[in-house]
Structure 1
Amino acid sequence: MYKVVEKFVSINGEGRRAGQLAVFIRFANCNLDCSYCDTAWANEDDVAYTLMTKEEIVEAIKATDVKNVTLTGGEPLLQDEIFELIDYLSKDQELFIEIETNGSVSIKEFSKITNRPLFTMDYKLPSSNMEEKMLIDNFHHIKKQDIVKFVVGSSSDLERARDIIDQYQLTKKSNVYISPVYGKIDLDAMVEFMKKYKMNEVTMQVQLHKIIWGAEAKGV
């Protein structure tokens, strides 16, 4: 059984299919406490959730007729038997599955899955106050289809992101995105930084859902 706090259809606000319709399944609880977290309510111990089986989750997804599926949180990989759910979803060739994960939980075991889904994996930068929780071993298990995402809140975050991208040669291993903390950093400064350091194959992306509905909206 899985603790689901939200399920809804919207557009993908970010990622490889940004702007496309997606059905979101949001799970309860997280092991991190990022300074800029925009879903902290889902991480509370007393958050309301619905217990669902993997079959019920797939049925809810299918009922939407939407093909893009995002498993998010909280931290979805903390759910008991999450491997079984992801493996089950991956067997459906009509669905495009994306898992949003915070970078502190191993993704190694998911390499065993046939038709393994896409992972959008964060690397938490200094302004998050969670960088020490990052699991560097995950960089050995990302694939070209995946995204490593750096959420940037300051110029020092930009510098640190560049260091990590270069140190681990991430653009050769996966897609690399940088995304601003909403309202915390000038977008033009991010572009100028990318130009200065010739950050080829790095994608800057803003969160479309926050532009459309604002930073506080739920279920979008």
Structure 2
Amino acid sequence: MKTSPAYYVAEIFESIQGEGNYAGVYSLFIRFQHCNLACSWCDSKYTWYKNDTLIPQTADELKDIIASSAATHIIFTGGEPTLYALDKLVIPGKKYHVETNGTVIPTEPLHIELPDGTYIERVAMKESIIKRFNWVVSPKLSNAINSQNTEYLHYWSARNWGIFKFIIQQSADIDEIEHVINRYSIDKNRVYLAVEGCTLQSQLRPKLVDELITKGFHYSPRLHVLLWGAKRKK
């Protein structure tokens, strides 16, 4: 199935940013439909595939929504937001953030057929625009089952556009992260580790957090999980 240069959006809502280097900040979230991966612990699996109930939106429509929000911080999330031309959604006076799995290079043209038969095509995003975004790149470890070739990390490690956020479940994940950041020369000061799970209890892992602290990593809370669990639009 061919898609037009439209934007398929799963949901739009205001909340606080729950994770990463802007945790706690009041933000407008635009969650895009479709993803090129299928990670086992994903908390937004409803975005993976084609949804016939969604009405495609134009860049101008989304910019109007962004302009009407009191939030200064705009979070592009998914799904995988880099399937879409995010540079076309920029208006003055807003700070943009992108939550990405990192496997799609934004400054290259994209032609991809997703598992549900949806064909996504977009032009290369303008680096002069997107380098001003706060990029939160979340590489997938072996705990995601659907872990990918990590060669794309050469691209992200060479660009000081934001941070890397890894999801951990156990001590072995921290060792794997150390191997990854050493291989790709990623500055540990750009790395945040968050504990997997969508319940309050899943986040209460003091021994695991103690271990990442001992090894010199930043800890990312998951504030939306602590406050609202797995509730959508939070």
Report the TM range for the smaller structure's normalisation.
Answer: 0.7 to 0.9
Matched, 1:171 2:187: yes
Gapped regions of structure 1 (runs ≥ 5): none
Match of 1:219 in 2: 233
SS at match of 1:49: coil
- Given candidates 183, 188, 191, the residue that maps to 2:206 is 188
Q: Deviations over 1:31-58 (max 9, x none)?
A: 1111111000111333632311111101
Match of 1:21 in 2: 26
Letter of the structure 2 residue corresponding to residue 72 of structure 1: T
Matched, 1:113 2:128: yes
Match of 1:137 in 2: 152
Gapped regions of structure 2 (runs ≥ 5): 1-5, 109-124
Match of 1:99 in 2: 98
Map 1:199-210 to 2 at 5 A. 199=216, 202-210=217-225
C-alpha separation in 2, matches of 1:169 and 1:192? 24
TM-score in terms of structure 2 length: 0.80
Q: Is the 8 A contact 1:24 1:72 kept in 2?
A: yes
Match of 1:57 in 2: 62
Q: Is the 8 A contact 2:39 2:146 kept in 1?
A: yes
Letter of the structure 2 residue corresponding to residue 100 of structure 1: E
Map 1:125-164 to 2 at 5 A. 125-131=141-147, 133-142=148-157, 143-164=159-180
Instruction: State the identity %.
Output: 27
Return closer, same or farther for 1:189/1:111 CA change in 2, 3 Å cut-off: farther
Return closer, same or farther for 1:8/1:97 CA change in 2, 3 Å cut-off: same
TM-score in terms of structure 1 length: 0.85
Return closer, same or farther for 1:213/1:136 CA change in 2, 3 Å cut-off: same
Return closer, same or farther for 1:208/1:196 CA change in 2, 3 Å cut-off: closer
C-alpha separation in 2, matches of 1:40 and 1:115? 26
Matched, 1:71 2:76: yes
Note the C-alpha offset of 1:11: 0.5
Letter of the structure 2 residue corresponding to residue 218 of structure 1: R
Q: Is the 8 A contact 2:138 2:164 kept in 1?
A: yes
